[in-house]
Amino acid sequence: MGNPIKESQFFNQERETMDWEKRKVDLDRKFLKTFQHAFRNSKAYKEIFHSAGIELSDIQGLEDLEKLPIFRMNELVERQKKDMPFGGFETIDPSKIRRIYINPGLIWQPGEWDYQDTSWAEALCGVGFKKGDRIINTFNYHMWPLAFMLDESVKRIGGIVIPTGVGNTLMQIKIMQMLKVNGFIGTPSFIMTLAQRAEGMGLDLKKDISLETALVGAEILPESLRSRIEVKLEMTVRQVYGTVFLGCIGYECQHMTGLHMPDNILVEVVDPHTGRQVEDGGAGEIVATNFNTSYPMIRMATGDLSMFARESCPCGRTGPMLKKILGRIDQAAKVRGTFIHPWQADEVISQYKEVFKYQVVITRENYKDVMTFLVELKEETSRPEILRGRIERDIKDILTIKGVVQIVPRGTIPDLHKKIEDRRTWE
């Protein structure tokens, strides 16, 4: 399947292959420094820690990690509403802010003048990119931060970025042909879309397209889809997992033994109800702490379920790995690379007094996500197509991705229903 296993690439081989016990000592130091920095310089964290009865001297290292409360996205959102734009979490000098990133749902994030995070760069090397590669970046450059972060990270490893963003598949195919692009960054569904478009243009994928390596993320990668892409294009496809607030949390190397955790992030697998780390081999929620001196995230919950992998990896990297993402603990769903939360769907529907009840159903057709809003009305309307069109417009404007509205008879949506029902299967 695909290309034979290549020799592993490293961003910092000495660090990534260092004895794990030595790395843990450094991790302990970084964690304590981050906690103390946030305690002293972040208004939000000062309030959060004081509310939990935590003083600066109470945390001396990783052994005290579980004393700190779990921090969730809804708390970030609520604090940002009260204290615009960053919620008081920022520890950066305002004169050092280069960008203000906008995340779906109008969640703000500061971008420092000089990009510091190395986690995505480590992932790029881990999946097989190298200096001089020509890499097409198809993540959306319009407002969202991930494309910019990966763009900066390609620069760190000495690669060349072709910043195309999403859409315009005909132009993207021509760009890949003319520039002999050998690397791809984007979602797995979009690389399949490009392959199908190229075939429709009569191209020979193995002769006319020069792709060798793909880093894919923001969607689950079924093995069936990975296999199809690798066989069609004779390339290597490896996945990455992370969030824009935390950075890269895990990435595959050529051996696909699990998701390697980058050197500069602290990852836990916890019981979502207690916040305590699960026993070895147990499943739980992924919680992570980054060491970002501008916008630190301490024990931030991702909502994703996984477990630590026990086996070592032939690539030589040390430290724990995560197994694949097992699912989510809440009703949020990632659709075409964008998280959709119940409160965001409520924001769309709350504008329509005609709606009695609604449910968002996520399905998958031909490796593409489909988001359908099932809507029950309080009473029949003579022009349902007008209402449907207005809601679909607001879905696109507020959630930033397209959705389909289906008006259904009263009683179709059950009582006590999930607001977001994910019916996708991955194999």
Domain of residue 255 covers 13-22+95-329
What average pLDDT is seen over the chain?
92
Percent of the chain with pLDDT over 90: 72
Backbone angles phi, psi at 21, to 5 degrees: -65, -35
Q: What is the pLDDT of residues 366-383, one digit of tens each?
A: 888 999 999 999 888 888
Which residue matches tokens 């763009």? 151
Domain final position from 287, 307, 329:
329
Whole-number pLDDT of residue 7: 66
Residue 124 has pLDDT above 60, yes or no: yes
- Which of 29, 8, 9, 10 minimizes the C-alpha distance to 266? 29
Distances (CA, A) of 308 to 23, 139, 198: 17, 28, 39
106 and 237 fall within a common domain: yes
Q: Answer whether residue 338 shows pLDDT above 90.
A: no
Domain boundary among 329, 351, 385: 329
The pLDDT, as a whole number, for residue 2 is: 47
Mean pLDDT score, 63-79: 95
Judgement on whether residues 175 and 315 belong to the same structural domain of the protein: yes
The verdict on 154 and 294 lying in the same domain is: yes
pLDDT tens track for 247-273? 999 999 999 999 999 999 999 999 988
Give the model's confidence band at 150: pLDDT under 50 very low, under 70 low, under 90 confident, else very high: very high
Res 34: pLDDT: 96
Q: With pLDDT > 70 as the criterion, what percentage of the chain qualifies?
A: 98
Pair (296, 376) in one structural domain: no
The average pLDDT across 188-199 equals 94
The residue-averaged pLDDT of 20-46 equals 95
Q: What is the pLDDT of residue 269?
A: 96
How does pLDDT run across 285-313, given as a tens digit for each residue? 999 999 998 999 999 999 998 999 878 89
29 Cβ contact partners less than 8 Å away, ≥ 6 residues apart: none
Q: Which residue has the tokens 């075939």?
A: 199
Asked whether the beta carbons of 191 and 214 are under 8 A apart, the reply is: yes
For position 209, which CATH number holds? Answer: 3.40.50.12780
Q: In angstroms, rounded to a whole number, what is the distance separating the alpha carbons of residues 295 and 154? A: 22
Average pLDDT for residues 109-127, to the nearest whole number? 94
Residue that finishes a domain, picked among 329, 346, 372: 329
Contact 88, 43 (CB under 8 A): yes
